[in-house]
Amino acid sequence: MSTSAPTNDLHMLQLIEEFELVDKKIGAVAEKKMRLHLWYLSEDLAALPLFSDDTTNEKKQAIVSALQRDPNADDLRRLPPNIIPHFRSLCVADFVTQRSLNLFTALNLPQAFLAEQVETWCERADYIAARQTVRALKVVNDCAERAVRLAADFNEVLTKNADQRQLLYQVVEHHRKLLPTTATKKQLLQSSSIA
């Protein structure tokens, strides 16, 4: 869904950053790959969540407020891979600027509802029409699709046998329940060398 693409991509990058605490090497490779696909976090597309039912009114209001922010010096269709050091503390509104209004211009969407209270948008004909237009957009979510492919490829490397794979998942799940959730790879290696 086009309206969820920026939020999903940002959430995926945040999860990868968390995973780096578990396995820094795999996490770094995954993050490097995902950083090459930051299309939906560009200024032009970051306002898409305004039309999502999954976006809270508070987050929509933050995006509307961010529409007043001056645009970046460069007009980029995709964020450069290393422009943002960390994603963990960011929200979609952090990527929105005045340039995000290009979305409205390009799709010929009305903007009058932006001046109204977010809670009233769903009752407005202009917002409903704009939401239908945005939802009709065909999107390719490279970031999420590549993450799924990365996970699928990793699963195939472990074993080709589906029964063995299920058994492996059960063993991993069992061991995760036994270990503290905040344990890092370094801590686990230290505790195994003591035992």
Nearest to 102 by CA among 84, 76, 123, 127: 76
- Contact (CB, 8 A) for 42 and 10: no
Q: What is the pLDDT of residues 65-122, one digit of tens each?
A: 999 988 877 766 667 667 777 888 889 888 888 998 988 898 899 999 999 999 999 9
- Is the model more confident about 54 or about 195? 54
For residue 70, what pLDDT is reported? 85
- pLDDT of 191 > 70? The answer is no
Tokens of 64: 């509307």
Task: Return d(Cα 2, Cα 37) in angstroms, integer.
Answer: 15
Domain locations along the chain: 2-143, 160-195
Whole-number pLDDT of residue 60: 93
CB-based burial of residue 72 (10 Å sphere; 0-12 exposed, 13-18 middle, 19+ buried)? middle
Tracing tokens 């979510």 back to the chain, one arrives at 141
Contact 46, 91 (CB under 8 A): no
Say which residue the tokens 């993450």 belong to. 147
pLDDT tens column, 132-176: 999 888 776 555 666 677 777 777 777 778 788 788 778 878 877
Contacts for 5 with CB less than 8 Å, ≥ 6 apart? 40, 45, 48, 139, 141
Q: Is the per-residue pLDDT at 181 higher than 70? A: no
41 in Cβ contact with 12 (< 8 Å): no
Chain-centroid distance, C-alpha 91: 9
pLDDT (average), residues 22-31 = 84
pTM: 0.64
pLDDT band at 40 (very low <50, low <70, confident <90, very high): confident
At residue 146, the pLDDT reads 66
49 — pLDDT class (breaks 50, 70, 90): very high
Placement of tokens 């003591």 in the chain: 194
CA–CA distances in Å: residue 117 to residues 101, 114, 127: 18, 8, 12
Q: CA end-to-end span of the chain, whole Å?
A: 49
Determine the pLDDT at residue 138. Answer: 76
pLDDT, residue 130, reads 92
Instruction: State yes or no: pLDDT of 7 exceeds 80.
Output: yes
| 35: three-class secondary structure by DSSP | coil
Give 194's pLDDT tier (boundaries 50, 70, 90): low
Question: Which two three-digit tokens encode residue 192?
Answer: 């195994």
- Please give the pLDDT value at position 182: 63
CA 150, distance to chain mean position in Å, is: 16
